[in-house]
Structure 1
Amino acid sequence: MEAANHTGASQFILQGLSDDPEWQPVLSGLFLSVYLVTVLGNLLIILAVSSDSHLHTPMYFFLSNLSFVDICFVSTTVPKMLVNIQSQSKGISYMECLTQVYFFMLFAGMDDFLLTLMAYDRFVAICHPLNYMVIMNPQHCSLLVLMSWLIVVWVSLLHILLMKPLTFHVGTEIPHFFCELAQVLRVASSDTLINNIILLVATALLCVFPVTGILFSYSQIISSLMRKCSSSGRYKAFSTCGSHLCVVSLFYGTALGVYLSSAVTHSSRTSMIASVMYTVVTPMLNPFIYSLRNKDVKGALGSLLRRAITCLSWTVDLRTKGIPWPLRQAL
């Protein structure tokens, strides 16, 4: 097959989750529902945190940033997949693929860093409670998030710049439902040694270091609680970390599952199904984990819902003013 460079006419073929026409409506409805739930759930978390002054703390500042990143993360892959299913097309242009690679790495990296910053916040709150407000002041928290953005922006951009010289065969098929960097490099027709080396370095930077930071934070938390606190104090402290631990376990557990499934089975189908867990399911579950396990978030969501209902009732009342009484009763 003829090799082609990356022109605007070049196009990749995404294998997708299933070739069976009977499954296409099912997949479309399922992923559309998951996408809408993810966007709505994370948007509610952002609105609840921003509208409740009691939640204007570092922990919830990081949580609202995580919710925003999760909305962007799932929006990187699912809409294009839904468009392809509806149009019965598997094509994606070279520029669209490059854009998807860039933003996928960007938001995946931000997920890693934000989960690490949330672990650091719990470490300072439990191990250094007297200095918590001094260390985790708004300027410091904003600087940490800004630095995380700068790191992942430049690392993601480096990958894209290194992909520009690569060549691909016309109609190259990518064995995935989106353009994942590792899968794109595998189907390149030119040498990808430098790309793979940089990918390993980036994986260490964006995954290994954050995981090490999380493990270190929780080791210090456990050590501090065992030395200082009573059993009731330990339970209360661990309860504040429970939601974060669930999200960390879900995100890294599913990502590890993708790596192991691809390394052990060498099946692209198995790897794709495992990828759905951390690219689609995890961002959807995060709002439920934080709202169901956190009284403050549940209270803020309840208050937000009551205000929305009150606002809606006022709107209906204003619209029904001046309407004859029989019709107003019907409304």
Structure 2
Amino acid sequence: MSIPNLGLNVEQAEALFNLANGGVLTRIDQRGERAGELFQWGLHPRTAEPGSALAVDDEAFAAAYPLTLAGPQAVTEHALFPAMSAAESLHTVGILVARRKSHRQPHVTEIFQLCRVAMECAALTIWLLGDPDREVRRNRCMAEEMEQLEQRRRFLVIGEQDETARPSRYPKRMLVENAEHRSKCNAMLDATKAAYTFEKTPPFTRMIRESAQWVDSHVPAHDDGEIANSGVENIARQFYSYGSSFIHGYKWMTDYGRSGTVFPLTADALAVTLNMAECAVCLFEAASRAPGATRPEESYLPERFEPTVAAWSAELFGE
């Protein structure tokens, strides 16, 4: 959908539409600029500080589940990667929002798809780290590790099927090495499943809801009223539902996006995704900070989040 120009130039058409729709384009543009704030943070990951809750979680996981071969930073890596991925998706969202005027195209489909992906990633980080009980965090990491190992197994099966069907496409050495790799991975997964008890990860619909509830219950210090006044859970659930139509190519959402209403939906999608992603990053930073430690000199996290990180570090992880 595009904004009708009514014979006006781009600036005039946007100004008129914005005025008639309560400043919705201003909100979209402001949130588009905000979408790039975490980009540098995502490009410069850091490990948990010695003595931090996250470092101790890593040690607890390695001691409890050595057969997984997840390495010495299992909890850190499982919590960090989705937050980094959310930051990358949001960075692209910001670029698309900024292109609206020059391209006369709001890029609604692309923005909704990227926001939905970023929300899932942010929800995973919050779900992994949001519980104050170390054993719960460790066990959730184990559930996520096993889910990913099962998905890796399915990926390896697909590769094996292609190698079996068309072996001439692969060098013989590669076929041997791939077979050895599959054997080792399958043996490790079978041994892990036999040795340990673990839960399944919840479906993302539930994970979104629970993580949004967590944010509503832990309104961050950096919030300017978006979370405190409007909440996250209901908007997150709504957006996750209608955002799925864009992910899967379903057209039902077009019934609710006519006559300009798609722009308020875009503004809401940006707001809820940004709030969840920002909280996920702050939660990771809080968990990775040693008790009593201050902001690292080399930090790439925007300073406006520092009050939240400091508060959550003390309140949630100040053991």
Range of TM-score over shorter length: 0.3 to 0.5
Larger-gyration structure (1/2): 1
TM-score (norm 1): 0.40
Greater fraction of residues in helix: 1
